[in-house]
């Protein structure tokens, strides 16, 4: 409860959402269409928290802490460039929200170890990164940590890309289990009624973006910085042109009927705003009506550059000397706001789990 007695989250009268990113370097168009665009759309009508999951970066880059730190700051530049407004939305540094770490330990008790290891997102990551059985104990623990990221904020909805859906399933299981085991919520209660029946945690839903998975410029794999097939938010207009020109389709000539489910047409649909033009391009391409890939690529590059131009301008305001500190000030403010809420959640959870022995007053930030 806040000082006035209303629960913090509902005092704004807006539904509360949380989502986040593991800092891995600069953000790209896949992040924009998969998640960030949606965040920018909903930030006026929702109480938004955007988490910089810097602890998660340690699962695979433990020996690289200096670049994790730099990436954490860099990602905020991209957030601000894309239109996340720190006045409206809180940008939060995970490693400075102690309630998340404490809840992770407690939640780890509610999940069978084998259930965590069955998470397909973890399995794919282990395979893709060739981790074998050499991964750190903290690697699967991050999936439990992600349930705490979400539940610490008692978020009702989590805007994410498709690949995060298994993490949301795990989160929903933790919320249900916690509410059943510690708050006496009966097992036959519908997900959306858990809080009404005394549960500490809402059972959150995944809000998957219209395009869950944007292809990379290789035309084969999901766009990803590490696969070298990404168009970064911070790329110059020239770079965008070059990269779009590389998009692989395998089509030979302008009169060959083209496959409009290829990567190039995913770009057409995502980035050319004029629906009538998109329909026309699709029709001519499918019929092989004398329309070359090069022509379409030029239009796509132009559309992407029109999208990125205002982003480049906003980004420029957060570059140069002193800008790192300004960014740190922004995330310090967001983290303070987060800690007020997450400490409240933690107290509720500890009380429910019989862990409240005396009042706690942590001085944070």
- Residues lying near ligand TRP in the complex (CB under 6 A) are found at 18-22, 51, 53, 56, 146, 149-150, 158, 160, 164
248 vs 170: CA distance, rounded Å: 36
**Tokens linked to 202:** 């809402």
The single-letter DSSP state of residue 262 is: S
20 or 202: CB nearest ligand TRP: 20
Of 112, 111, 36, 23, the closest CA to residue 68 belongs to 23
What lies within 8 Å, CB to CB, of 245 at 6+ separation is 294, 297, 301
- Minimum distance, C-beta of residue 18 to ligand TRP, in the bound complex (Å): 6
100 or 106: CB nearest ligand TRP: 100
- Minimum distance, C-beta of residue 25 to ligand TRP, in the bound complex (Å): 12
- Only one residue has tokens 């779009």, namely 244
146 or 229: CB nearest ligand TRP: 146
- Minimum distance, C-beta of residue 339 to ligand TRP, in the bound complex (Å): 16
- Minimum distance, C-beta of residue 176 to ligand TRP, in the bound complex (Å): 18
90 or 240: CB nearest ligand TRP: 90
CB 268 within 8 A of CB 281: yes
203 vs 168: CA distance, rounded Å: 10
56 or 222: CB nearest ligand TRP: 56
Of 124, 105, 201, the closest CA to residue 167 belongs to 124
- Minimum distance, C-beta of residue 142 to ligand TRP, in the bound complex (Å): 7
- Minimum distance, C-beta of residue 278 to ligand TRP, in the bound complex (Å): 29
- Only one residue has tokens 């601000």, namely 80
125 or 293: CB nearest ligand TRP: 125
Q: What are the C-alpha distances in Å from 138 to residues 55, 128, 129, 313?
A: 10, 18, 16, 39
Phi/psi for 91 (5° steps) reads: -95, 125
């Amino acid at each position: 409860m806040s000082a006035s007695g209303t629960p913090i989250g509902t005092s704004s009268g807006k539904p509360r959402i949380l989502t986040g990113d593991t800092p891995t370097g600069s953000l790209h168009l896949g992040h924009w269409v998969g998640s960030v665009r949606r965040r920018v759309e909903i930030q006026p009508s929702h109480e938004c928290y955007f988490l910089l999951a810097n602890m998660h970066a340690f699962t695979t880059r433990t020996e690289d802490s200096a670049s994790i730190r730099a990436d954490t700051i860099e990602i905020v530049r991209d957030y601000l460039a894309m239109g996340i407004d720190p006045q409206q939305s809180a940008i939060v540094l995970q490693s400075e929200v102690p309630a998340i770490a404490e809840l992770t330990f407690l939640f780890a008790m509610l999940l069978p170890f084998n259930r965590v290891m069955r998470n397909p997102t973890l399995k794919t990551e282990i395979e893709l990164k060739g981790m074998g059985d050499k991964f750190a104990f903290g690697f699967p623990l991050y999936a439990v940590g992600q349930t705490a990221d979400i539940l610490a904020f008692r978020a009702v909805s989590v805007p994410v890309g498709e690949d995060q859906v298994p993490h949301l399933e795990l989160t929903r299981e933790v919320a249900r289990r916690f509410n059943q085991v510690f708050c006496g919520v009966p097992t036959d209660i519908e997900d959306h009624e858990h809080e009404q029946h005394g549960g500490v945690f809402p059972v959150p839903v995944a809000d998957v973006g219209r395009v869950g998975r944007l292809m990379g410029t290789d035309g084969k794999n999901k766009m990803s910085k590490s696969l070298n097939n990404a168009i970064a938010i911070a790329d110059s207009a020239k770079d965008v042109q070059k990269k779009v020109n590389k998009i692989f389709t395998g089509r030979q000539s302008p009169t060959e009927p083209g496959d409009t489910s290829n990567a190039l047409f995913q770009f057409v649909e995502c980035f050319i705003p004029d629906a009538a033009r998109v329909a026309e391009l699709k029709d001519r391409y499918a019929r092989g009506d004398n329309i070359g890939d090069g022509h379409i690529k030029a239009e796509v590059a132009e559309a992407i550059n029109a999208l990125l131009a205002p982003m480049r301008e906003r980004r420029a305001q957060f570059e140069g000397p002193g800008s790192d500190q300004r960014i740190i000030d922004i995330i310090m403010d967001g983290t303070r706001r987060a800690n007020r809420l997450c400490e409240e959640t933690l107290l509720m959870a500890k009380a429910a789990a019989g862990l409240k022995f005396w009042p706690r007053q942590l001085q944070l930030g």
